[in-house]
C-alpha cells in the first residue's frame, strides 16, 4: 500500500470538491496528506450528501488517507504554524478566493521563500486573474458557462445541469496531472517549486469539445441533441421489452454495419450516406426507428447477448444496485470494501489508476475533525506541547 508517492507530503487546505479530490488521489498512491480545517467550522464536505449517524459517507471517501488538523489560518500565529508545515511539505492545495492567502500573509512570495521546492495548487472557479477572478464560483456555474448545459438535454427542452459534481471532478482528476508535472519539473529537471493555477472552467471546457473552434471557423453553434450525436448514428438510449434502457454507440463504421444487420435492415448499409458517421447522423430518425423497434421486442438480456456475440457496442443504463452487481466491476475491484472505525464496512471507489509495480491503496477512511493535530504539530513538526496547548486555548488550533 505504500504507493509511488510514499515520502511525499501534501497539505490540503481546500474544501468542496476539486482540491480535496486531488489530495485524495495523491493520498491513495502513498502521499502523506495533512488535511487542514478551521478549528470551529469543519470542512463542509463532512456534511455533504448522505450521512449515517451524523457522519458523511462522501467524507469517508474524499478524506481517506488524510490526517486531520484543526488550524485557524487567519491569525498570524496560525499562519506561522502553516508556514512551519509548508517547510516540511511538497504540495499545498488551497481553494480560497484569490487574495485570501495574501491577506493572511501567506502569499506565494512568502511560501516560496519558506520552501523553494513547494508546489502550490490554487483552485478557483475562474482562475487567479481576469475580470471574474474574485467572483464566488461553484461547479454548477462553470457547468453552465462551459457549454456543457447548452449541449445537454432534449432538443426542445431546457439546458440541463448534471446531478453530481462534474466540473469539480474533472478539475480534480486533471489537477493530479498538473501536480505531477510540477513535481517532475522540480525533481527530474532540477527546477524549483511553482504555482499551479487551476480553474474549474477550463478542464470542463476541454471535456465539452471543440464547440468554440467550430463556431470560430464556421459560425455554427452546436445544439442539444438529446441522447443522439451529430457525429454518428445510430447512437441513443433504447427501451427493451422488460422496461430497461440500453445505450448503443456506432462511432466505428464497422460497428454501425453490424448493428443494422442485427436489427434486420442490411439494405441501409449500401446507401451512400451510410459511409460516414456524420451522414448517418443526418438519417438518425430512420436508423433509430429500426433499432428501437427491434430492441422493443426483446428483453435486456436477449439484446445484450446478441449484441455482445456480434461484436456490436452496447451497455445497459445502470443504477447503483446494477453497478455494484456488475461482473466487470467486481472482477476488477472497481469498488472495494474498507473498514471504518465507527461505521464498519464501507463500499468505496477503489484507487483510480492501475499501476503494475507501485499500486496504491486505502490505508484508512476519512478521520474525525482535528483527530491528528497533536501528532502532526508535536511529533512531526517538533512543536512544544505547551505552545500547542496555548494555541488550542486561544482557538487557533483544535
Active-site annotation, residues: 168
**Which among 68, 131, 134, 72 has a CA at the least distance from the CA of 106?**
72
- Residues sharing a CB contact under 8 Å with residue 321, sequence separation 6 or more, in sequence order: none
Sign of CA dihedral 342, 343, 346, 352: negative
Question: How many CB atoms are closer than 10 A to CB 292?
Answer: 16
Rounded to the nearest angstrom, the gap between the alpha carbon of residue 315 and the centroid of all alpha carbons in its chain is 23
* Contact yes or no for 64/72 (Cβ under 8 A): no
How many CB atoms neighbour CB 376 within 10 A?
Answer: 24
Alpha-carbon distance of 293 to 327, in angstroms, equals: 29
User: What is d(CA 195, CA 210) in angstroms, rounded to the nearest whole number?
Assistant: 27
Contact call for residues 304 and 246 (beta carbons, < 8 A): yes
Rounded Cα distance, 66 and 73, in Å: 19
CB count within 10 Å of CB 157 equals 10
The three cell numbers locating residue 59: 467524507
What is the distance between the alpha carbons of residues 206 and 218, in angstroms, rounded to a whole number?
19
Amino acid at each position: 500500500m505504500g504507493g509511488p508517492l510514499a515520502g511525499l507530503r501534501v497539505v490540503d487546505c481546500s474544501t468542496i470538491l476539486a482540491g480535496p479530490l486531488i489530495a485524495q488521489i495523491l493520498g491513495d498512491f502513498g502521499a502523506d496528506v495533512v488535511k487542514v480545517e478551521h478549528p470551529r467550522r469543519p470542512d463542509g464536505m463532512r456534511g455533504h450528501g448522505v450521512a449515517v449517524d451524523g457522519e458523511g459517507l462522501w467524507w469517508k471517501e474524499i478524506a481517506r488517507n488524510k490526517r486531520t488538523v484543526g488550524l485557524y489560518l487567519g491569525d498570524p500565529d496560525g499562519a506561522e504554524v502553516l508556514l512551519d508545515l509548508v517547510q516540511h511539505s511538497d504540495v499545498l492545495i488551497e481553494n480560497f478566493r484569490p487574495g485570501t492567502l495574501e491577506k493572511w500573509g501567506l502569499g506565494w512570495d512568502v511560501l516560496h521563500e519558506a520552501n523553494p521546492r513547494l508546489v502550490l495548487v490554487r483552485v478557483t472557479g475562474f482562475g487567479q486573474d481576469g475580470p471574474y477572478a474574485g467572483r464566488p464560483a461553484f461547479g454548477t456555474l462553470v457547468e453552465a458557462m462551459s457549454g456543457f448545459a447548452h449541449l445537454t438535454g432534449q432538443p426542445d427542452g431546457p439546458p440541463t445541469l448534471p446531478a453530481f459534481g462534474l466540473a469539480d471532478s474533472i478539475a480534480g482528476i486533471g489537477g493530479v496531472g498538473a501536480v505531477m508535472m510540477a513535481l517532475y519539473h522540480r525533481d527530474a529537471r532540477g527546477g524549483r517549486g511553482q504555482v499551479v493555477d487551476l480553474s474549474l472552467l477550463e478542464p470542463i471546457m476541454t471535456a465539452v469539445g471543440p464547440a468554440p473552434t467550430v463556431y470560430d471557423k464556421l459560425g455554427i453553434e452546436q445544439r442539444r441533441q438529446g441522447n443522439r450525436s451529430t457525429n454518428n448514428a445510430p447512437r441513443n438510449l433504447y427501451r427493451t421489452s422488460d422496461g430497461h434502457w440500453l445505450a448503443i454507440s456506432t462511432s466505428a463504421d464497422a460497428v454501425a454495419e453490424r448493428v443494422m444487420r442485427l436489427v434486420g435492415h442490411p439494405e441501409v448499409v449500401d446507401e451512400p450516406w451510410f459511409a460516414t458517421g456524420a451522414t448517418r447522423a443526418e438519417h438518425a430518425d430512420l436508423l433509430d426507428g429500426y433499432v428501437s423497434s427491434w430492441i422493443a421486442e426483446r428483453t435486456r438480456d436477449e439484446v445484450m447477448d446478441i449484441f455482445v456475440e456480434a461484436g456490436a457496442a452496447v451497455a445497459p443504463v445502470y443504477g447503483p444496485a446494477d453497478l455494484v452487481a456488475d461482473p466487470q466491476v467486481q472482477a476488477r475491484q472497481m469498488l472495494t470494501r474498507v473498514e471504518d472505525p465507527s461505521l464498519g464496512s464501507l463500499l468505496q471507489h477503489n484507487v483510480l489508476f492501475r499501476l503494475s509495480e507501485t499500486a496504491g491503496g486505502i490505508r484508512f477512511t476519512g478521520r474525525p475533525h482535528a483527530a491528528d493535530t497533536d501528532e502532526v504539530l508535536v511529533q512531526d513538526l517538533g512543536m512544544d506541547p505547551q505552545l500547542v496547548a496555548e494555541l488550542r486555548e486561544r482557538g487557533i488550533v483544535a
